[in-house]
Each structure stands twice: as structure tokens, then as C-alpha cells.
Structure 1
């Protein structure tokens, strides 16, 4: 695997210095959320020009860091038509930018049927799913036109909350430009985490062929919830996902999540050690 990190979990530095630091720490790729990483110049839709993309591409290349994911984690099920139009516009700006920057995928979670992106029981209903699929279609069509892969990330609290639901979205959209970001911990909640092995195995079985990249983190059950932490600091069993990556996904991008500048090397060494020893 090509192990990387969520760039906004690294030490706060000017953009060029931050990417150089990521290389020095031994990471091969990064998850880029521009607004969370870059402060010295704007990253609004109008700022995402070919020139900015090529400048950033050169910085990443000089430091031997791939952009595994260009993150655009906005709510495509927002019921406010004006807000939805702005969200759709931003997805398209990111897709266009990704085509110049040379990213692995443009990444997204799958939203909630409200303006506040709040987890509610309706997230798991059929109406919310159909709304999401309807609103995702033009975004994926634009990704096809720009030669970019859009990748959705199933999350228990969101609309696409389990592997079967993610499979439905893939089958209904039916596009080679729509794939999956597999984050095993995001499929878990306080009500199902004890079945984590079966859930991850189901995800691999139903979604494996369409997994474009992987997010790696850990979890600690706490006060009726799961708290996300860096790999090796909680109760996650990585056997299935690492075996899947090693056997079926050579050189796949995998980015760490919920690390800190203080523990990111420790976490990197832990998960790389597990992978190497499989």
C-alpha cells in the first residue's frame, strides 16, 4: 500500500513547507481538503484555476507525495435548493480542479436530508437515499466529462450507511467514474461495533471491486458513542481490510485519519508493521 495522511492532521505550516514535512515523515500520499490545509491563498471555486492546480501539482511532485483524495465533503441531500445549487457548483469546481491536479479521486460522504448536515433517523430511509442518488447523478456525469473519479464514503450516520446501500448507489448510477472510499470504522456505531469483522467482510464482498482507496483509523467506545482515534489506539481489527488491500489492491492509496502531529509517525509505523507482517 501507499500509506498517507489527512493533510490537515499534520503540523500547521505554509503549504509548501507542510507538503515537504509530509514527505520527511515518510508518507507517500495525502488527503487534501484545501480549505483546511491552505491559509496563504484562497481556495474558493473561482480560485481553482489550471495555474493554481499546476503550481500545487509541482509542489506535490517535488516532494514525492500523491494527492490520493481531493476532499469535497458537502451535503448533496440538502433540501434547500439554493444551497444545493452552490454545493453542486463546488463539487464541479473540485472535479475540474482534480482533472488538472492529477488526483486519485474526488471524495465525498453522503449527507443527511436537512440543511444542517445532522444525523437523524430519516438518513436511513428510502426517500433520503433517492434524493441523494438524484442529486449525485449530475455530479458523476460531470466527473465523466472531466475524466475524474468521484468516490463516495459510506458512513453509518449518513444516508449511505452500510455496504448494501452503497452497492445500490453504485448499481443505480452505473458509472465507471463512481467508486468507493472504504473507511471500515465509518461503517461502525455503538450498536454494531462488536460485529466489526462481519461488517468489514461484507463491505469487501459487496464493494471490493469498486474500492478506489482506503481510510484507516481506530475507535474507542465511549459514552454510548464511538470516538475516532489513530490506528493502534483503540479496538479496531485490521486483519480483513489489510489482507484485502495486500492481496487485491497493489499500491493502493491508504490515508490515516484522526492522527495528531504528536502521534502520526507512531500510528504510521503501527499500521505499516501490521501490513508488512501479514
Structure 2
């Protein structure tokens, strides 16, 4: 596995500075956000100069662009907002191969009109699923034209809230371009240690053939998100299970302070190098 980090962990709008700090903290790759190049996170267009700056920064630092962030609310209650997000996603997808990646990450969204990461009771409505199917079909058509994979992530607050829902979407769309980002901290809010191991094992087994990237953040006993190694997730077990299903892609950490980046790198590198953890 390649150890990575969200580029936005490091402040700034100069790609070379951001990737240098990622490298110096011990990371081989990043999940890149266009805000790190001085653009909106989801720009309406990406000019050649911006792409060249990112490519040059990656080459000079040796830090690979593992994925680009292309998140927008794919089931926003306003269809015009969804359409604008799709157009902007298209710009990200078109630029991705030129930046050395063929993976773009998505947010399946929520009916909340103001926050794509906030739960809304209407997420469970059949109309939300229909809107997601339509949005995903449109996005996949663009991705297929550019040879890019789109990664959904099970998130408790989103319409794809569980591994089961992710599998349902994959099966419904039947596109090899639809893949998964798996973050163990997004699979539960509170769970016993044994219960959590079971939740993670089930998710890895269910989605193992589609996992293109793993995320690494943690949760405290109270359910709040925490820095890797400071919560209840057993990352030795998680990483061992990923290896067991043949995953050898990027393991990308986020939800941490800039000052914690080097410490987290050492912690995760130690696990990766030791190869410890249960696989049963």
C-alpha cells in the first residue's frame, strides 16, 4: 500500500509547497483538492497553467497524485444545483489523467440543501435513490469517456450510508468505472471493539473487489471523529483485512491537524511495515 494524506491538511495554494510538506511528513501520495492550487475545490474549468503547476510539483517532490476530489451533492434537492455540480465534476474528470491519476472521489450526497455531509431524513426516500442513479449515470458517462474511475464512499449521513447501499449502487449501475473508498470510521458511530471488528470485516468482504482507496481516520468512544491512533478503530486489523482481499492501493489519512501529520505517518508506516493484524 502507498501511504497518503489529504493535500488540504497542509495550508497554502502553491502545489509545490503543499506537496513538499506532505513528502517531508512521510507521505508518498496525496488525495489532491484543487483548492491547493488556488482554485475552488470544484472549479468550473481548470486551465493548462494550473495543471502544469500540479504536475511539476508532483514530479519535483516525488509525491504522486493518488486521486482528485470531485465532491458535490449528487442528490441536492435542487436539480439545477446538481447539474452545476456535474458540469464542474466534468472539469475534474477531464483534468485527472493529465495530473497522473485516473481516480476521482465523489460524495453521494444528502437532501440537506446546505451541507452535503449532513444527514437528512429524506435520504431514505425512493426519490433520493432515483436522483442518485441519474446523477451517477451522467457522471459515469463522462468518466468512461476519459478512462477515469469514480469512487463512492459509504458515509452515515449520505444516501449511500452503508456498505450494503454501496454494493446496491454498484450492482445497479454495473459499470467497472464505479469503485469505492473505504473509511472504517464512516461505518459506525459507536460500537464495541468486537462489534467494530465485525462491521469492518463485513464491509471489506462485501466491497473488496471494488476498493480503490482506503481512508484512515478514527472515532473517539463518544462517536466524534479523531486522529488515527487516538480512537477506537483497530488499524492493524483494518489494514490486515485489506491485504487479505488483495488491496494494494493508497491508504490516505485525513481529519488531522497539520502538526499531527508526521506522527500519523510514523504510526501507519509501522503497521504497514510490520504486516500485523488479524485476518480471520
Q: Residue 157 of structure 1 aligns to a residue in which SS?
A: coil
Q: Report the TM-score when normalising by structure 1.
A: 0.90
Alignment of 1:12-51 (within 5 A): 12=12, 14-35=14-35, 37-39=36-38, 45-51=43-49
In structure 2, the partner of 1:98 is 96
In the other structure, the counterpart of 1:257 is: 254
Q: Secondary structure at the match of 1:221?
A: coil
Partner of 2:58: 60
Structure 1 unaligned regions, length at least 5 = none
Q: Deviations over 1:74-129 (max 9, x none)?
A: 10101212211101101111111112212241001210124223312222343322
Rounded to whole Å, the distance in 2 between the matches of 1:43 and 1:108 is 12
String of CA shifts for 1:130-154, please: whole Å, max 9, x gaps.
2212211110111001111111111
Alignment partner, residue 233 of structure 1: 230
Distance 1:43 1:184 in 2: 24
Against the structure 1 CA distance between its residues 60 and 274, is the aligned structure 2 distance closer, same or farther, given a 3 Å change threshold? same
| Residues 108 and 152 in structure 2, CA contact (< 8 A), matched pair in contact too | yes
Secondary structure of the residue aligned to 2:220 is strand
**Cα distance change of structure 1 residues 44 and 264 upon mapping to structure 2, 3 Å threshold:** closer
Residues 96, 104 of structure 2: 8 Å contact kept: yes
Aligned position for 2:133: 133
Report deviation, 1:203.
1.0
Q: In the superposition, relative to structure 1, how do residues 43 and 123 fare at CA in structure 2: closer, same or farther (>3 Å)? A: closer
Per the normalisation by structure 2, the TM-score is 0.90
Q: How many Å apart are 1:42 and its aligned residue?
A: 6.3
CA RMSD of aligned residues (A): 2.1
Aligned length: 273
Q: Is the 8 A contact 2:154 2:160 kept in 1?
A: yes
| Alpha-carbon contact 1:124-1:160 (below 8 Å) kept | no
Displacement after TM superposition at 1:194 (Å): 6.8
Please give the alpha-carbon distance, in whole angstroms, between the structure 2 residues aligned to 1:263 and 1:42: 25
